[in-house]
Structure 1
């Protein structure tokens, strides 16, 4: 039996379709906690096979620190619509323009945070136009393509999507073993029914296009370093998608604030949400308003 709480936004938050100049996007919008001074607004972008629910455990603590957070399903991700078969809708420039439209609809200026793939899309948005943003946080999101071992996993997924429908691929993922071993879409916040619903909500073309991006992304750190924004590179103490020393080096090249969250791996927002939220709010507090 599924726990209904796993399908609901966190207490005090509102789930709705955010209307933008580029269409609607499903969001979970958490206002600042009652009685707390409003310090700013943040847009939160999830990673590959992820969704807005990945930030569920962070949104309350950030609200207590004075930050409204809007977690977004990107185009073709979970509850945001998009074409099922047209990969051109999911090129990185298109997804970056979506982020700029989301920021405008939420109300600029905003802090921008992206997890994993979401970090690379956030970076592309900032490189298009940094003016809507007051800071950029890259959470477990590296300078270029993912590690060779993760490229192999992503290739397996793309090969499966080429010959099976979404339900068949989900059943194959489930047959591979327990979620903690399989990872990817089988692992995340919420019960198994939410994870299944999330997987089936993803558009195959979005998964195919963004999987390719993760395996071919060039190093754009020098370009980003030239942008006049405060940067924050946050990761777990272990990460097999982008090794931690690579993230350390990226932070140094960006002149970024660096946080390593102990006890966390590739998803600090889920593994250690309270210290992760604290580190993010501490960084945002230092950004001039």
Structure 2
């Protein structure tokens, strides 16, 4: 889960409901002046587990100032986008089709797709379903498969607890564990938002997404076979999928790899300006070349 640094909607960013063939999604959108817009510039941002469009608040304007139209969404069953009580609706394949429908609803041709954390697994599913809908794929703090280790064990406990204990109790237990691990409390307004956002998730959605965050298969070979230009980027201190694991995934994908200094699992929050520069540098390089950008991992 990302923790936004602020919640005020910046000037130049609008809230909207994005109507697609698969439902209506809550979104934030920022659009540069038409004369300043880079060609093929539309970007779709997918948040991760227990996240929301607000995870990208710090990133929207830095990307727009670099000529990009940017849309961040709440995914199905997440925060302000409703979702059904059917567990099958939250399979990665279904969520990938949502992302595909969102890209189509932007009416911009192929878009640059960015998936953060669990959103990267969804972005991967969207690309595997219809690679032609996208100009590029960026996996931001995301990995080749589900999480492992102690974090996976805690998530598995959450899968069992959500249906029996409810979201408020699970959130309280989660926050207490984070405090025991030394995570500092955010300002009161941010804490209130985090609690409200967590409780607003559809419980079936959060249960199934948490389950898949642990059990997602490794589909790197399948993604590599598609041939879509791909960028893997992560914070140097990412504590979900390790930077080494993400570097190895980039090598398997023949993808561009970028390590973001002074950032953890949420570079869009920790280093928004640097993240925006890294993303746009990659997209600009693609625009200058008909060939995918090669792996530059050191």
Q: Same fold (TM over 0.5)?
A: yes
Shift of 1:211: 1.1
Asked if 1:206 corresponds to 2:202, the answer is no
User: What is the 5 A alignment of 1:5-84?
Assistant: 6-32=6-32, 36-39=36-39, 40-83=41-84
Give 2:291's aligned residue. Answer: none
Q: Secondary structure at the match of 2:150?
A: helix
Deviation at residue 32 of structure 1 after TM alignment:
1.6
Residue matched to 1:281: 280
The change in CA–CA distance for 1:277 and 1:114 in structure 2 (over 3 A counts) is same
Secondary structure in structure 2 of the residue aligned to 1:223? helix
Following TM superposition, by how much is the alpha carbon of 1:160 offset from its aligned partner in structure 2, in angstroms? 2.2
Q: 1:143 corresponds to which residue?
A: 144
Question: d(CA) in 1 for partners of 2:54 and 2:183?
Answer: 20
**Offset, 1:16:** 1.1
Report the CA distance between 1:176 and its aligned residue: 3.6
| Cα deviation, residue 200, structure 1 | 1.4
| CA deviation after TM superposition for structure 1 residue 100, in Å | 0.7
Paired residues of 1:6 and 1:194 also in contact (CA < 8 A): no
Secondary structure of 2:89 counterpart: helix
Deviation of the 1:37 alpha carbon: 3.1
Kept in 2, the 8 Å contact 1:173–1:182? The answer is no
Determine the structure 1 residue equivalent to 2:89.
Answer: 89
For residues 108-147 of structure 1, the aligned pairs below 5 Å read: 108-147=109-148
Q: C-alpha separation between the residues in 2 aligned to 1:42 and 1:179?
A: 38
Cα distance change, pair 261–15 in 1 and its aligned pair in 2 (3 A): same
Counterpart-to-counterpart distance in 2, 1:224 and 1:177: 34
**Separation in structure 1 between the aligned mates of residue 200 and residue 182 of structure 2, nearest angstrom:** 23
Partners of 1:51 and 1:26 in 2: CA distance? 9
Deviations 1:79-116 (A, max 9, x none): 00012x32111111110110111000012210000001
Cα pair distance change 1:245/1:161, threshold 3 Å = same
Taking structure 1 as the reference length, the TM-score comes to 0.91
Contact 1:263 1:271 in 2 (8 A): yes
Matched, 1:217 2:235: no
Count matched residues.
282
Shift of 1:203: 0.7
Q: CA deviation at 1:179?
A: 9.3
Contact 1:147-1:240 at 8 Å conserved across structures: no
Unaligned runs of 5+ in 1: none
Uncovered stretches (5+) of structure 2, i.e. residues with no partner: 289-298
Deviation of 1:49 after TM superposition, in Å, equals: 0.6
CA displacement at 1:9 relative to structure 2: 2.6
Deviation at 1:187, TM superposition (A): 7.2
Q: Structure 1 residues 140-149 or 35-44, which shifts more?
A: 35-44
- Asked whether the equivalents of residues 37 and 69 of structure 2 are also in contact (C-alpha less than 8 Å), the reply is no
